A and B are shown apart, each in its own frame.
Chain A
Amino acid sequence: MNLENRKRELVKDFSPILLKSTKWNKIWMVILTAIILVGLYAFFLQLFKGHIVTGMRDNVVWGVYIINFIFFICLSYSGAFIGGILHFFKTPWKNSVSRIVEIITVLSLIIGPIFILLCIGRLDRLHYLFIYPRIQSPITWDIIAIITDLIGCFIYLYLTFIPDFAILRDNSEGMPKWRQKLYKKLAINYQDTPSQRERLHKITRTMSAMIIALAIVAYSVLAWIFSLTLQPGWNSTIFAPYFIIAGLYSGAAVIIIAMYLIRKYFKLQHYIRKVHFLGAGVVLLVLSLLYGYFTFSEYFSRWFSHKITDANLLDTLFTRYFWHFVFANYIGILLPIAILFFKKLRNIKTITFAAFIAVFGLWVNRYLIVVPTLETPYLPIQDTREEYIHYTATWVEWSLSLAGVAAFVLFFLLLMKLVPIIPMSGIIDNERENRKPVQKL
């Protein structure tokens, strides 16, 4: 019964985050909603005026949207991967970060596909994908993979939420009526009996292994959308593993950034500690070395064999996109390595800074994979009007991209109002096993 008291204590601890909105919290919500509204306006503009309002043209038919799509899907994928690994191997300090990871996974998997929909010229015909499906098309594979992945991640996220819903239900005195009802529904009569607990752990464990597999499949298929075409910059055998490593890299980095912000703004220093940052920093270091290695191999073989089309592509990368290239593939990889490599340099702020550089660099790297390739096809672009040759994203594309990020943050904040960002059930489980207070992690 000691544990019951502990549960009540925890709910009390977290209820300010759940129930009360600070002034800043409200201001942020308003700002985020405003950004999303501007994005919605841009969306309707694109819907009614056509894709002419974007910077995409005949040669660069995919632009910032597909880059955001890859970016968010790779966040989700790596979230699933990292979350699955944390859970499956029962990593000791996982509890404080696992929910952050899981929420990132699901949210980015909801926001990512919206960006691929923005690439589609006729949204009114979207159902044709199901009426006239063609299994040969990698797009069909992608749809199947993403939908399966989404369902899998949803189930997984929900499974990890159930014990917390139950705790909240049992300790909801004083909460608004709708919350009490909601928690009761969502807890699906979970009473935390040993048999229930064991069953839930078993299912969650199985799901955690499954979403790792699902994530690998989904992200490989996404990489194949590019690498199965004949385009000089895309037709590469290492694209699928390269994308997976790149995804993990950015995913780990985003998790670090999220940890930092949540710790700072919700005063959770007690739960999210330096040790988490150091651990995540080492993971990011390993991933940045791997990612750098893949990036190097990809460009090195293109440069060394210098087929004329590859040479043209590299030429573009080193002239028109010189600073992008330097930022994405030198600064974006080497700087995090430099910071994370030396133990003395590792602290919460530097690790977060390295993570920020990594995320931004990776986004630019995706840009370099998509845009310059489309600008240097096999047959040189000629007999095309000037404004159709190069790509510059318009405000519509930028505002929709920002809206995507804003929606991500807003949903994150809202979810944090629904369940504690640190799984209470995990703390209870730890204490039950160790009979020690949480301070020992």
Chain B
Amino acid sequence: MENNKDNKKATNRRKFLKLGLMSSVSAVAGASVLSNLAQDDEKTSSGEKVRVLTPEGKMVEVDAASINNYPEAHISPKEAREGIPNKSFVMVIDLARCKNARKCVEACQRGHNLDYHEEFMKVQLIQDNEEGSPYWFPKPCFHCEEPPCVTVCPTGATFKRSDNIVLIDNTRCIGCKFCITSCPYSARQFNWAHDGDDMENAEGLYSPETSTPQTEGTVIKCDFCPDLVRQGELPYCAKACPMGVIYFGDKNEDIVTNGSETVRFSELIAERGGYRHLEHLGTKPNVYYLPAVNRQFPLERGFEIEEDIIERYKDVPYVQDLKKKGKI
């Protein structure tokens, strides 16, 4: 019943969008989020209806043919400093479902043109205390409310946007690495060597929102994929996770989704005991975790991966134990 009301609103918005698209790229950037409606309402109806989320966070049903298929608009480093209006992005990671399948890591690497060893998303094996059982802990950038990395940057190459996202402009970064040492979550990495093909023809193509193409000698990190979000898609990691571990959404709308399931953010946090990692540091992350209770997979499933990746956990006492017992 609410949908009917919204359909009217949606039409107006479509007109607005159309104007925006024709006038400038930055207007597109501002106007279309999580749903990019078509510029051509009068297109022949395909008969197929699709439910989409509007910028106000309402679900509307539109014709499938009118869904936007624009090539993603290029957001320049300057435009990328403005957040997407009225958005407050959050991520919720359900530790109970993670089995270290590493699809998030791989999708992120593909999406950002990272090499095999560069990971914006790391999966850690955490054991809170001696009695507690270890769990897999996917760790993106936490896009803190009080980001220490942004405070210490001497050139403003890394910045906090109104939509919660902390980005790096690698055309501005001088590579002093101070942000790397000031991040208590080790979320940041450095681009150590020239990567040939990535560097070429970078002029004009680079956007802090895509973090590609990369530049040697600058800092890189998880960017919450604002380019995808603008097109109404989930970040690479959330999209790729086969277990639906990663929820992404908007705190203002109080909605998060992992692609298959859309839930109220506040309810999810309240009911499942959501928490933020290392809360006592006062950085106020925008990534929440749901504790690893009622696990869906045994921890050992996480070791069904390549040998050299298992090696990366060799210092964890639990893994040493497993190795001693000959289980891995």
State the A residues within 8 Å of B (CB): 49-52, 57-59, 61-62, 119-122, 125-126, 128-129, 131-134, 136-140, 143, 225, 228-231, 374, 377-386, 388
Contacts and interface: CB of A to CB of B under 8 A. Distances in A.
B174 A231 contact: no
A379 B316 CA distance: 12
Nearest to B175: A121
Nearest to A51: B192
A52 B193 contact: yes
Given A128-B172, A383-B123, A138 B152 contact: yes
Contacts of A384: 122, 312
Contacts of A378: 184-186, 278, 281
B124 A383 contact: yes
19 contacts: A50-B216, A51-B175, A52-B192, A61-B177, A61-B180, A121-B173, A121-B177, A122-B218, A126-B174, A128-B155, A128-B172, A132-B157, A133-B154, A137-B152, A139-B176, A379-B186, A380-B315, A382-B125, A383-B309
Contact of A231 (B124, B181, B189, B190): B181
Contacts of A136: 151-152
Given A230-B281, A379-B185, A140 B154 contact: yes
Contacts, number: 142
Measured as residues with beta carbon below 8 angstroms from the partner, the interface class of chain B is 35 or more
B154 A137 contact: yes
Given A138-B152, A382-B124, A385-B117, A50 B194 contact: yes
B227 interface: no
> Which 7 A-B pairs give the minimum distances between C-beta atoms?
A121-B175, A121-B217, A52-B193, A139-B154, A137-B154, A61-B177, A230-B184
Given A52-B192, A119-B176, A383-B122, A229 B181 contact: yes
B177 A119 contact: yes
Contact of A50 (B123, B192, B283): B192
B101 to A, nearest CB: 14
Contacts of A133: 154-155
Contacts of A230: 148, 182, 184, 281, 283
Contacts of B151: 136-137
A377 B184 contact: yes
B156 interface: yes
B229 interface: no
Contacts of B123: 383
A382 B122 contact: yes
Contacts of B153: 134, 137
